[in-house]
Structure 1
Amino acid sequence: MAAESRSRILIIGVTGNLGFELAKASTAASHPTFGLVRDSAFSDPNKLQKIQNLSNHGVQIIKGSLQEEDGLIEALKQVDVVICAVASAQVLDQKLLISAIKRAGCIKRFFPSEFGGDPDRTRVSNLDHGFYSTKAEIRRLVEAEGIPYTYISCNFFASFLLPSLIQPGLQTLPRDKVNIFGDGNVKGVFVEESEVAAFTISAVDDPRTLNKVLYLRPPGNTLTMNEIVDIWEQKVGKHLVRNYISEEELLQKIHETPYPENMQMVFIYSVFVKGDQTYFDIASSNGVEGTQLYPLIKYTTVSEILGGML
């Protein structure tokens, strides 16, 4: 696609980890790229460094926030596509953004801030303190307003839980023993954030992803806990003692641990006990799978990621 025909993209949350990767992927794909940044970000040294880095790579920085609808509309009128990558605590702040998109009338695709498990498919709503229901609420609002969309269901970021071998509270990879939740045979999915960004940007102008869920289930990264531990044992050249934690034991621990300290265990329960990332068929869920649509995007396998952590 010629550069002049590529959509102009506004990314909200460019100073966050994923938003930063999205902005880099957007400019690398020759999209005219804009980043919406709050005033407060310029007084944070880490965020300011990211802003300067993105500016040096051609990202046009626009000052604004999700709380200022008129400013949002001004920003929206400069672009064709909006990708929101705000933190989970800000998910409902997208309501004003949706109103602004509707008023602006020029946005041909909206990617709301999801970038995790499919909120319409999770089965832990009694445990997650609204983590998924708020994302589902935004989906329903987008659909009710008739805004063209793509939802990104990328499952776990590789930087989340994998560096501890899915051991909540552990900061390093275990070398002697490991807890396995459930029977250890339920599959979960891990994807590097930079690769999530590459798949997302590839979907921007693709009619096959319009009003669809783009699922990421790379075959080399869709693994059970037992398989992940097998890989790690091969890397370190020794067997780890495996302690199997039953569903009942894990649920008890979740209830005994205060929120939000228990959320890692909630996500583990959702994925590696209930199977919320993989129990359903993609095609029947109004979805398409990213590694099948974009086979030229090379993803880093779990084996490669763990090898890099030695």
Structure 2
Amino acid sequence: MEEKSKILIIGATGFLGYNLAETSLKFGHPTFALVRDSAFSDPIKSQKLQFLSHAGATLLKGSLQDEASIVDAVKLVDVVICAVSSKQTLDQKLLIRVIKQLGTIKRFVPSEFGSDPIKARVTELDDGYNFYAPKIEIRRLVEAEGIPYTYISCNFFMKVLLPSLAQPGLEAPPRDKVTIFGDGNTKAVFMKESDVAAFTISAVDDPRTLNKVVYLRPPGNVYSLNELVEMWETKIGKKLEKLHVLEEELLTKINGTSFPSNSKMLFIYSAFIKGDHTYFDIESSSGVNGTELYPQLKYTTVSEFLDTLI
């Protein structure tokens, strides 16, 4: 059996990063985490680090701003997975430079884990903030440097819009009235973070995912807003009053608010009106369908997630 790659996780105290580190260990990979000094004094983060350490992870002190620590960490591994927040996207530039200089990394997975930034059409908005531009910049840099990569396009994490049934301002699914944006028929994709981690770790040693985008579109997790509302109504045994917000009205609301306050409305516009998750077919030259590559991986469905909210 081929030896499993040694994996470095950057951002292991974050929600996705922690799942990636846990899954990497569970799948038998020697696992390392580059961790800021400050994380060890944070009660929640230090608890996560303690668990990872006890599970077998090697914790390395450092950050994306400290070149020496990046060099020391990258030298130890075969694969680097970055899971920092979107506001830290451009902080990966120094890491990319180190990976290029060392020339020993078999696969780099940059911090994307959302909609495919190349396919996203919300950049048409004149909101003064292009959410996807930094991710596109990092992709271009990785490719220009000839670094072997895999991009993970998992679309929405379940925790982002699903707990409110895509209702801005709500923390739980509605019980009386629900807003339908657009015609309600455009489909979005939802993934649980632990499932994203399982597909990501499965992909790092797979030659089929080399220099490709891995799209996650599980059949049980692709739904329109109308379908989500109908599913929720069935689960609670009650019909909801439908309010309709057309595209123009939603755009007015988005443009009347600045980022990140309007982020949920932007995501709704992107997925449920522009169809950024599902308007395109996966091109075999540049992408693969992760749920078809790894049929053995079980994942949480939207229906199962909604069951937890009843």
Question: Which SS does the other structure have where 2:231 is aligned?
Answer: helix
Q: What SS is found at the alignment partner of 1:119?
A: coil
Aligned pairs for 1:287-306 within 5 A: 287-306=287-306
Distance 1:108 1:64 in 2: 22
1:56-94: CA deviation from partner (whole Å, max 9, x where unpaired) = 100100001000112101110000000000000000000
Aligned with residue 53 of structure 2, among 52, 55, 58 = 55
Aligned-partner Cα distance in 2 for 1:256–1:130? 16
Matches within 5 A, 1:137-152: 137-152=137-152
1:162-189 CA-to-partner distances (Å, cap 9, x unmatched) read 0000001111110011001100000000
Shift of 1:130: 2.3
Aligned match of 2:26:
28
2:73 matched to which residue of 1?
A: 75
Cα distance in structure 2, aligned partners of 1:130 and 1:54: 35
The answer to whether residue 191 in structure 2 is matched with residue 191 in structure 1 is yes
SS for the counterpart of 1:159 is helix
SS in 2 for 1:151: strand
Partners of 2:67 and 2:143 lie apart in 1 by: 20
Are residues 1:111 and 2:112 paired?
Answer: no
1:308 deviates by 1.3
Superposition RMSD in Å: 1.0
Q: Does 2:50 match 1:40?
A: no
- Kindly provide the CA deviation profile for residues 107-133 of structure 1, in whole angstroms up to 9, marking residues without a partner as x: 010000000000000111143612111
Note closer, same or farther for the CA distance 1:262–1:50 as it changes in structure 2 (3 Å cut). same
Counterpart of 1:65?
63
The residue identity in structure 2 corresponding to 1:121 is: K
- In structure 1, the partner of 2:212 is 212
Other-structure match for 2:178: 178
Aligned counterparts of 1:93 and 1:135: Cα–Cα separation in 2: 11
Find the counterpart in structure 2 of residue 10 from structure 1.
8
TM-score by length of 2: 0.98
CA contact (8 A) 2:172 2:309 kept: no
**C-alpha distance in 2 between matches for 1:118 and 1:259:** 20
In the alignment, structure 2 segments of 5+ residues that lack a partner are none
Give the CA deviation at 1:285: 6.5
1:258 deviates by 2.6
In structure 2, C-alpha distance between the alignment counterparts of 1:106 and 1:259, rounded to whole Å = 39
Using structure 1 for the length normalisation, give the TM-score: 0.98
- State the Cα deviation string for residues 226-254 of structure 1 (Å, max 9, x = none): 00111100110000111111000000010
Instruction: Out of 40-49 and 281-290, give the one that drifted further.
Output: 281-290
Partner of 1:98: 96
Q: 1:122-168 CA deviation, whole Å, 9 max, x = no partner?
A: 11114361211110100000000000000000000011110000001
User: Which has the larger displacement, 169-178 or 125-134?
Assistant: 125-134
Per-residue CA deviation, residues 33-60 of structure 1 (Å, 9 max, x unaligned), is 0000001111111100000010010010
Q: Which residue is equivalent to 2:271?
A: 271
CA distance in 2, matches of 1:285, 1:174: 42
**Structure 1 gap segments, 5+ residues each:** none
Read off the aligned partner of 1:299 and give its amino acid letter.
Y
Corresponding residue of 2:86: 88
Letter in 1 for 2:81: I
Separation of aligned partners in 2, 1:298 and 1:306: 17
- Matched to 1:228, the amino acid is L
Return the alpha-carbon distance in structure 2 between the equivalents of residues 194 and 61 of structure 1. Answer: 21
Q: Which moved more, 1:126-135 or 1:160-169?
A: 126-135
Paired AA for residue 49 in structure 1? Q
**Structure 1 residue 259: Cα displacement:** 2.3
Report % sequence identity.
Answer: 66
